[in-house]
Amino acid sequence: METKKATIRREEKNTYLVLAGIDQSYEIVLTDDNPNNIKSVFNNLLKDLKRGLFIYKLDDKNGDLYSHVCEEYIRQLNVELKAVFDELNDYALLEP
C-alpha cells in the first residue's frame, strides 16, 4: 500500500485540499459548497484506485481549523478508499 501526500493550499479567496494522484493532483475547494467538485475528485480517485491501494497523509503544520477539518476528512477518505478497493478486488475490477 502506498501513502500519498495531501496538502492544504491557502489563497486569499479560497482554500483547497490537494490530493496527489497518479498522473495529476486533485483539488477539493474547502471554501465553496460544490458537491460536483467532490464527486469529480472521488471519481478520479476511483480510477487511480484500480491501479492499487493507497492512502493519504496530510502534510500541514499550520494547526488551524482547515488542518483539523482536513485531518478528519482524510481519515474518513482512507476508510472509504480501503472499502472500495476491497470491492473492486472482489469483483475483479483491478488493473493488472
pLDDT of residue 46: 95
Give me the mean pLDDT over the 61-72 stretch. 94
pLDDT score recorded for residue 96:
83
**What's the confidence (pLDDT) of residue 24?**
95
Report the alpha-carbon distance of residue 93 to residue 55 in Å, rounded.
19
Q: How confident is the model at residue 50 (pLDDT cuts 50, 70, 90)?
A: very high
Q: What is the mean pLDDT of residues 59-66?
A: 93
pTM of the model: 0.91
Q: Which residues of 18-53 are buried (b: 16+ CB within 10 A; e: fewer)?
A: bbbeeeebbebebeeeeeeeeeebbebbeebbeeee
